Structure 1
Amino acid sequence: MFTKVNEYLTDNIPMNYWYDECIFIVEDMLKNFEDEDWKNLYKELPHKEANWKVKLAECLGNLGNKYELECLLILINTNDNDLLIACADSLRNLDVSKLNIDNKKIITSKIVNLLNKSGKAAQSVLRDLLNKLKG
């Protein structure tokens, strides 16, 4: 299953097709991932380009499994603003109250540093996550 997800995330799919269909296809595949698929994903993650990671982050947040939060915590450790915003957007859908203090501090710091550099839509996403982290 990881191979299929990797193909979707790697392919140079037109953005409108990605958001109209592919994102939902990949999300469904991720819902059916087994432990071995997640292990393969984690193993490959450091070697993937930022665009691949952004697409993956966009598919996370609604899977209802233990892996997506862990995956987002790995992905958010980035200097890529687009990836950081995608991670923040997906994290808003998860229960972040269970994050430890260190993770909350790291995420909060990254968001605060990016907040004034972002457009209004991204700022809204970032502020929303900040509020969830404080709550």
Structure 2
Amino acid sequence: MFSELDDYLSLEFLPDYWYDVGTGVASAMLICFDNVAWDALVEQCVSRPAAWQVRCAEIMDLVPHPAAEKICVKLMSTDSDDVVVAGADSLRSIPGAHFPEGAAGRLGAISADGSPPVSAVLAEMLARFSEQ
């Protein structure tokens, strides 16, 4: 099951297609995951290209599973600002999730260098997680 999702997330997508169709297809794949597939996703998510990681992060909040929080946290430890932001965005939508230690500093740095819309979104995320 993991290999199907892995292959799918590796495809090239137009942004509109990914958000209109691709996320639904990918989340339907996640619904079929067993524990072995989830374990493979947790283990291998950080070894994939940044575009794959962003897509992976963007679907983590669509299917409730305990591994989703773990995957977002792992993705937030990568070098890519885009992956970190996508991981944080999904993490804030997972009920009961907590930001990992050090995430606020990293997101604050990304916010300081980001565009006004990115900075506004990150400020909201940081405010939510500072309340925990």
Task: Give me the TM-score of the superposition, normalised by structure 2.
Answer: 0.89
1:131 corresponds to 2:127: yes
Question: Aligned to 1:94, what secondary structure does the other structure show?
Answer: coil
2-side partners of 1:128 and 1:95: how far apart?
16
Structure 2 letter corresponding to 1:99: H
Structure 1 letter corresponding to 2:16: N
Higher mean C-alpha displacement, 69-78 vs 125-134: 125-134
Q: What's the CA shift for 1:116?
A: 1.1
**Aligned with residue 122 of structure 1, among 90, 115, 118:** 118
Q: In the TM superposition, what are the counterparts of 1:72-83 in structure 2 within 5 Å?
A: 72-83=72-83
1-side partners of 2:107 and 2:6: how far apart?
28
Find runs of 4+ consecutive structure 1 residues off by over 6 angstroms: none
Structure 1 letter corresponding to 2:61: G
Query: % of aligned pairs identical?
Result: 23
Q: What's the CA shift for 1:46?
A: 3.2
Unaligned runs of 5+ in 1: none
Question: Aligned to 1:61, what secondary structure does the other structure show?
Answer: coil
1-side partners of 2:77 and 2:3: how far apart?
24
Unaligned runs of 5+ in 2: none
User: Size of the alignment, in residue pairs?
Assistant: 131
1:99 corresponds to 2:111: no
- Cα RMSD of the aligned pairs, angstroms, is 1.7
Confirm or deny: 8 A CA contact 1:88 1:125 kept in the other structure.
no
Name the structure 2 match of 1:26.
26
Task: Give me the TM-score of the superposition, normalised by structure 1.
Answer: 0.87
2-side partners of 1:79 and 1:47: how far apart?
12
1-side partners of 2:3 and 2:65: how far apart?
20
